[in-house]
Structure 1
């Protein structure tokens, strides 16, 4: 597949040669009523303004400030946030998507000081930041030490997204427009972005409109172990299907070992297409010198299409004698688990694959949110002022997932056959076989590689669509209504009293469903049977008696790729990104043909209906009453100080309605009940509603001492809690079903309940101490210590539940129970750390060197969790990196601005994988991302710019316990943006 790279070659050297990257400012915010934002363009101006605000504030807050209207310093909000001390981010297709503050994801996100809804993460308080165009925001505040007047919701911190206010603009009209072209180092399609801003300010009236629209295709390749969490410790002693007799696979002279592996391995060509639109509009009017009214509308929408073509080898999810290590390493017995078996790993191995599939997957998300704020500010007297706000939000996310597994192998390797009128043959008779396919896997290089036999999959006639399904589709909706009153009473000597009341109501509805289709076939007694099935699988019989070896006809038919090619659905792919490749191509169903999940399945198997999955559907009503009072005072206690002390009272009422899933799989269509095959969602037997309430008292205290003319010491104590993720409350019971090829049935082997309506929220007591030194106008250094005593947290625990019948109606578990994992409360722990920051403009240097400046910061974050690794050592809190470092160099002079930024994040603990009795710690390896930008002001109002993100093409790799035991990689591309901005 050929690609033009001219654009990339021009961009890369310019980006690498750019001298700087910053735009991140460490600042705190004063009360909004007392703060008038001054629009300053340029890096140095933004830094200076931020330092002034930080120095005068009374709480611990960092911020990102836009250098100009609609111009945050990075491509996305989360990418900018990663530059702030104590902030760690996660990426989606290379773009920053979610944020941790001080090692914890329990972060509240506000819009102009209040709650809002984000369509990409309807159930949580933290949005998916890929939804929100950065051009709509003027700054982002990271509140680490909350005041009593700060809306509660973040255990570790609160992020406040701020939009522009029209009365802060210059008098008259202001127009800003920008256009960009973007390109990636692995993808072919150029992206576009257009943004515009129009603002009007005349005396006491102002209005503005900001619009952003963009389209981009992002590389998101994946290599290695394909499905997360399906890791295994394959036993040599014959206790696994396939190894029916003990086998010395490791070559150490015994059969008392376990070999680390997984269900499937592969390489994928995966891209994410994202079309974003964002609109922010504000009207602001000072009726007189006592009354001001304003209204905000904040709208976002994103259509996302994630397309995957993957060459994946697996063990048919049934047989386990398929991983043969070539360089086995004995890790010894695990400390917690199977202590009588040695655990072996290997970076080079042979896979004796029972099947190889040409996978095609399409995930489509269409999400939209609207948030409206109506506000009135009134000065009742010279000493008493108040505001009244009404917030309304609505959001929806419609998600579909569509899957097609085409066999390149025959199916004979694991005995999968089709039966029509009692005549049987392999499901893909023209495929590769009949023996297992031996594939060399090598995880020791820069990227995992898998070497197939010569000529494998080289002809389209070898491919056949054997299985397709669409499941875990969901419609999510949420509504938010807030009414709040806030008052400030000025007392003597710059002291004041704040107080307020807030009523909030949030509704969340989640409806999850699978598409199932009818099949009428001959049963094992030669009668015609109509069944509904989620898995349209040509090897799945309508009924059968495994013990007697008698089965009815299979349901779907294998569809040759030659037939699908005539429909225009087949594509040939040779580009799997930077993974080692010999240039061979393979055939796949084009995932774009699968974007319409219902239409795709009705074309192949008419009559599909959406069947509700009761265990994954729920309704939640969340009502809160909040009262707060806060005293602000200044004085002198040896040195001048400013302080605030207050308390927040929150009364929460929860109504959680879940569904009771049945055991017997029956589908009702047009009033007629039909039997179903395994995998189809169970019946919904009715609703179960839990009503409960709880109360929180949250004292908060902040004080800052002016220890000298240029130094400040801050101390803070805050008690925090976070609103629960609706999924943690509402998700119900689901069963994990495996194919037992020996018995010819699908068997329920375990269960999970990912929600629990009786859980308590996260709660913590936070302590902060920071020291700041302002040694020049645009320069400062700081050190901060923090400690979070987490009293209540949430974890996944293990227990048992009653066994359910297998697909043939037989309960085979001898003790009548299967394993159950459930979400529940547990004791928290201590999260503590150090934050170091340094920022300086080198304007004291001579000549051209005076345009240089830098920002450096380092965060050490330590938090102990409850998991144990392979050797019994205690693991840190999940998703936290112990070390993070940012280095930013910037330059600004004579119309030139340039920035280079490096972000380092140390290894991140993901979780403990059980590996069939050999628990090991799963880690994400350290990452270093480098971004750069350069711009030039052609005139006072016109600027051309070039920006590169991830210019070193960093990728994210995970490993199991030992760094040489690679699990998988997510490979992101370098992205380059070339554009022009105009202001007038």
Structure 2
């Protein structure tokens, strides 16, 4: 696949005198930005500023404002936005990252009114602000009912990020800055953060520079199924009549359940039941380190005769290291029936053609107990440049010409090391062949099938059974000639551990370029019902290049490219192998026996968050692998990047749009009606792939597949506002909206996962077989489109007080959902033997979002002149947002749209008196649907409700300096997930409370 090459701007050539000589009007977003900006200080003034923006807007909007220069009210932009009605967020390592609006992730992000290209959203539409320093922004505005003049995109709304601009400040020089230290209850690091702003404003010229740099170490513990965290693809249904095989009645572990035709695990007299099963269970210590940097530079100049030039650059960068140290117990993809359901519940529903029981406690004898270390190293960077020439000479004609160019890149490399305590006989590799001769894979490892119990019933997952004998056979009997020893004893002894696998896979390097040219005009009328007419045109071009790759190491005299350097990978494939020169029947193994103790960075870890019962285990400090490629090359010289063609693609997306909008005003009524013609050309370049290559290497690239499509949509807009009594306002809006898909939903290809078949007697025993797959890309999918209906009432009851209520109804006639489809896929040897449920994107239609938003902002000084009550205020809101995706659960109940919570509650109380300010905030989000068809085409993945509590305190030493402290996640909240039923726990993320102390200055 070809790489993106730098492009000469096709739109820059259009910046001709034809445009510059004509007075053009600014867009609706720019008009909003041109309203007088007041540099607010304090929580009271920030609330008043947000209310003023809402009141002045033509359509239905909400806003948040910085409490001081460089100080949005929460740790991240996303955390602040969760306080707005209708906004639902998702956290990453405890920090706000992804968000949706009114239940939809199809939300457009703009920067100062025009498209924004972020490094975390190169291939996606959903806003993700994890990489953006919040200190660079003065506020955020959310447009919930759109106008024809808005930048097109976004089904349920637009999030507009506002940076500081020179003319927003007082004349002369303004300096501000802050320094702070943060720490976590678990991480205990002293994380520094600094930011500063310099602004100079003259009579006609202004210049601004704003800088930010921070470092954070964040706890993010995990407990649940192996392979979890994103999807539950490593789950299955274990039927009583087949999953346990032929078990004799004298089996100590399973004998009590033996019945005619299988096992009767629930003692109901038959073998017609099935139990939710997992391939393995894991718990890990996980810390995420993020280093963020950002700079915003802005220049404004007035040239006279109504012309103003604006030039600004926003650059952000983030380096992230996600480090994991964990333990797991699994059966290595050999049996679904490798456990006894110690606690279970019969649901009465049917799954996999059997009566389904959920399982709360698993007691299993998986063949593999091991530990592992991994690191995910990500570098993200984006630059957005805006050039605008605005015209307003006080006459009837106003306008602007604007050019935006942006680029973003993100690179991620993963490294994984797994350590076995088993001796390898459990999957047929107790003794392997090496150039030095035959040798034991792990001579100090256990020889049996350890029995452990994992109990998910309580608030904390609990493991037990480490005193059990690890040297029992698969039926629970003693193994002749092998002394008994507990699995706990093996875990305690570092000599029991052997390196089982080293790999680097699912890496990517992606980049994007964006160019936008737009011209907007407004003609104002001095009389009549029509007060003005807006018009404009916009051209944009976006190109994305997504290259995914694995690291392969050349092994043997033939230089065979090997991804899985593992003790169970034998280099015997006919296409490339490593053969004993003296015996053609002997092939060498990819990874020689390597005791854990011989490696650099050995650690003993006992901290697995709230997960109970796990003893201390041995592994490698994952920070040793931070420089992933260098680490692999040091161990395996010549390691190189090998493209994964099935997951690499290019997408070009060009848009053209034209709009006209009439703004009207008569007495108490004002509004606008407009029409936008939106056209887009999509070009997708994918790779046609063949069968998989040996030793984990990706499929063969058979050539390119190019798909071209075009879309045209006519989008009408109507917004009405009626000022009933000066402080009571009614608003309504009707609009047709559209949004492109995530680009990987158009461009992504097929990705297949394999595992070694270690089932004795299986036709593919000892071979790598296909176990799961995903296929994200389908260039024939249609963009999202929807009709939006909004109605709101707003009661302004003071300078910083407001009560509002809004109802919305969104009829989505085209959307995309996550699902599965069955596909016959080949094993790694190219032979098709099995059908796999492939995770993919499918076209949906007929979904609805509807809801109610209630908001009450109170500054009690608006009601009382003095006294203790005048020092307090609040911001309380509730959102009710039911939805229907058209999909059904296992029991036939209707399912909502993905990522939508039906209930949202925000409670914020604040205090401001003299030099003191304080704020306490509570956020509740009800359960949300994560994905459909998680287990063999059935079962929905859900997240349980969450509740987060944050607090902050500020003391103004004088007019120039203030000290502040804050605490986030005081409730030590966890994110818990389940499959279909709340008692079918699947995994959890556990975040830490964090505390900050700092000083801020302004001159």
TM-score clears 0.5: yes
Distance between the aligned counterparts of 1:130 and 1:751, measured in 2?
Answer: 28
Distance between the aligned counterparts of 2:237 and 2:585, measured in 1?
Answer: 34
> Are the structure 2 counterparts of residues 571 and 694 from structure 1 closer, same or farther at C-alpha, using a change threshold of 3 Å?
same
| 1:812 and 2:848 correspond | no
| 1:485 and 2:499 correspond | no
> Are the structure 2 counterparts of residues 34 and 771 from structure 1 closer, same or farther at C-alpha, using a change threshold of 3 Å?
same
| 1:641 and 2:669 correspond | yes
Q: Tell whether the 8 Å contact from 2:837 to 2:936 is kept in structure 1 after alignment.
A: no
| 1:824 and 2:842 correspond | yes
Task: Give the C-alpha shift of residue 884 in structure 1.
Answer: 0.5
Q: Tell whether the 8 Å contact from 1:117 to 1:127 is kept in structure 2 after alignment.
A: no
| 1:265 and 2:281 correspond | yes
1:898 to 892, 896, 918: 918
SS of residue matched to 1:342: strand
> Are the structure 2 counterparts of residues 169 and 761 from structure 1 closer, same or farther at C-alpha, using a change threshold of 3 Å?
same
Q: Deviations over 1:619-654 (max 9, x none)?
A: 111111111111111004xxx111111111111011
2:731 to 688, 710, 714: 714
2:605 to 568, 573, 596: 573
SS of residue matched to 2:68: coil
SS of residue matched to 2:725: coil
Task: Give the C-alpha shift of residue 914 in structure 1.
Answer: 4.6
Q: Tell whether the 8 Å contact from 1:641 to 1:706 is kept in structure 2 after alignment.
A: yes
Larger deviation, residues 550-559 vs 107-116: 550-559
Larger deviation, residues 753-762 vs 864-873: 864-873
Distance between the aligned counterparts of 1:420 and 1:758, measured in 2?
Answer: 49
In the alignment, what sits opposite 2:618? 587
Q: Deviations over 1:40-62 (max 9, x none)?
A: 21222222233233223210000
| 1:190 and 2:196 correspond | no
Distance between the aligned counterparts of 1:819 and 1:954, measured in 2?
Answer: 34
Distance between the aligned counterparts of 1:803 and 1:898, measured in 2?
Answer: 59
SS of residue matched to 2:508: strand
Q: Tell whether the 8 Å contact from 2:682 to 2:709 is kept in structure 1 after alignment.
A: yes
> Are the structure 2 counterparts of residues 543 and 809 from structure 1 closer, same or farther at C-alpha, using a change threshold of 3 Å?
farther
Q: Deviations over 1:676-708 (max 9, x none)?
A: 33x210111111111121111111110100122
Q: Tell whether the 8 Å contact from 1:519 to 1:556 is kept in structure 2 after alignment.
A: no
Unmatched segments (≥5 aa) in structure 1: 1-27, 521-527, 666-675
Q: Deviations over 1:272-321 (max 9, x none)?
A: 00000010010100111411101000000000000000011111122233
In the alignment, what sits opposite 1:107? 107
SS of residue matched to 2:699: coil
In the alignment, what sits opposite 1:465? 499
Task: Give the C-alpha shift of residue 243 in structure 1.
Answer: 6.8
1:791 to 813, 819, 826: 813
Q: Tell whether the 8 Å contact from 1:529 to 1:542 is kept in structure 2 after alignment.
A: no
| 1:621 and 2:652 correspond | yes
Q: Tell whether the 8 Å contact from 1:30 to 1:57 is kept in structure 2 after alignment.
A: no
Q: Deviations over 1:582-618 (max 9, x none)?
A: 6x32111111111222222222233222111001101
Distance between the aligned counterparts of 1:220 and 1:613, measured in 2?
Answer: 29
SS of residue matched to 1:889: strand
SS of residue matched to 2:53: helix
Task: Give the C-alpha shift of residue 435 in structure 1.
Answer: 1.4
Distance between the aligned counterparts of 1:241 and 1:476, measured in 2?
Answer: 46
- Map 1:197-346 onto structure 2 (within 5 A): 197-228=197-228, 229=232, 230-239=234-243, 246-334=262-350, 337-339=351-353, 341-346=354-359
Q: Deviations over 1:511-564 (max 9, x none)?
A: 1111111222xxxxxxx865322111111112279xxx9773322213101211
What is the aligned-residue RMSD (CA, Å)?
Answer: 2.2
> Are the structure 2 counterparts of residues 146 and 135 from structure 1 closer, same or farther at C-alpha, using a change threshold of 3 Å?
same
Larger deviation, residues 490-499 vs 156-165: 490-499
Q: Tell whether the 8 Å contact from 1:236 to 1:243 is kept in structure 2 after alignment.
A: no
1:541 to 544, 559, 570: 570
2:680 to 635, 652, 656: 652
| 1:939 and 2:967 correspond | no
In the alignment, what sits opposite 2:561? 532
Unmatched segments (≥5 aa) in structure 2: 1-27, 249-260, 468-487, 575-583
Q: Tell whether the 8 Å contact from 1:865 to 1:875 is kept in structure 2 after alignment.
A: yes
Q: Tell whether the 8 Å contact from 2:401 to 2:520 is kept in structure 1 after alignment.
A: yes
Task: Give the C-alpha shift of residue 139 in structure 1.
Answer: 0.8
> Are the structure 2 counterparts of residues 506 and 252 from structure 1 closer, same or farther at C-alpha, using a change threshold of 3 Å?
same
Task: Give the C-alpha shift of residue 327 in structure 1.
Answer: 2.1
> Are the structure 2 counterparts of residues 529 and 177 from structure 1 closer, same or farther at C-alpha, using a change threshold of 3 Å?
closer
In the alignment, what sits opposite 2:875? 855
Larger deviation, residues 229-238 vs 416-425: 416-425
Distance between the aligned counterparts of 1:381 and 1:981, measured in 2?
Answer: 40
Distance between the aligned counterparts of 1:976 and 1:967, measured in 2?
Answer: 30
| 1:759 and 2:776 correspond | no
Task: Give the C-alpha shift of residue 416 in structure 1.
Answer: 3.2
Distance between the aligned counterparts of 1:719 and 1:481, measured in 2?
Answer: 25
Distance between the aligned counterparts of 2:833 and 2:952, measured in 1?
Answer: 63
Larger deviation, residues 899-908 vs 436-445: 436-445
| 1:450 and 2:470 correspond | no
> Are the structure 2 counterparts of residues 29 and 890 from structure 1 closer, same or farther at C-alpha, using a change threshold of 3 Å?
farther
Distance between the aligned counterparts of 1:903 and 1:53, measured in 2?
Answer: 23
Distance between the aligned counterparts of 1:727 and 1:542, measured in 2?
Answer: 34
Distance between the aligned counterparts of 2:934 and 2:92, measured in 1?
Answer: 26
| 1:427 and 2:456 correspond | no
Q: Tell whether the 8 Å contact from 1:259 to 1:344 is kept in structure 2 after alignment.
A: yes
Q: Tell whether the 8 Å contact from 1:484 to 1:500 is kept in structure 2 after alignment.
A: yes
> Are the structure 2 counterparts of residues 900 and 730 from structure 1 closer, same or farther at C-alpha, using a change threshold of 3 Å?
same
In the alignment, what sits opposite 2:998? 979
Task: Give the C-alpha shift of residue 157 in structure 1.
Answer: 0.8
Q: Tell whether the 8 Å contact from 2:792 to 2:807 is kept in structure 1 after alignment.
A: yes
Distance between the aligned counterparts of 1:241 and 1:645, measured in 2?
Answer: 69
Q: Tell whether the 8 Å contact from 2:138 to 2:163 is kept in structure 1 after alignment.
A: yes
Task: Give the C-alpha shift of residue 160 in structure 1.
Answer: 0.1
> Are the structure 2 counterparts of residues 201 and 664 from structure 1 closer, same or farther at C-alpha, using a change threshold of 3 Å?
closer
Distance between the aligned counterparts of 2:431 and 2:512, measured in 1?
Answer: 45
In the alignment, what sits opposite 2:368? 355
Q: Tell whether the 8 Å contact from 2:433 to 2:439 is kept in structure 1 after alignment.
A: no
SS of residue matched to 1:977: strand
Using structure 1 for the length normalisation, give the TM-score.
0.90
Distance between the aligned counterparts of 1:896 and 1:800, measured in 2?
Answer: 62
> Are the structure 2 counterparts of residues 782 and 353 from structure 1 closer, same or farther at C-alpha, using a change threshold of 3 Å?
same
Task: Give the C-alpha shift of residue 898 in structure 1.
Answer: 0.3
Distance between the aligned counterparts of 1:683 and 1:376, measured in 2?
Answer: 51
- Map 1:45-60 onto structure 2 (within 5 A): 45-60=45-60
Task: Give the C-alpha shift of residue 351 in structure 1.
Answer: 2.0
2:703 to 686, 689, 697: 686
SS of residue matched to 1:839: strand
Q: Deviations over 1:872-896 (max 9, x none)?
A: 2111111111000011110101111
- Map 1:20-35 onto structure 2 (within 5 A): 31-32=31-32, 35=35
In the alignment, what sits opposite 1:699? 716
Distance between the aligned counterparts of 2:859 and 2:83, measured in 1?
Answer: 17
Larger deviation, residues 536-545 vs 63-72: 536-545
Task: Give the C-alpha shift of residue 861 in structure 1.
Answer: 0.4
SS of residue matched to 1:437: coil
SS of residue matched to 2:997: strand
Q: Deviations over 1:315-335 (max 9, x none)?
A: 11222332211123222341x
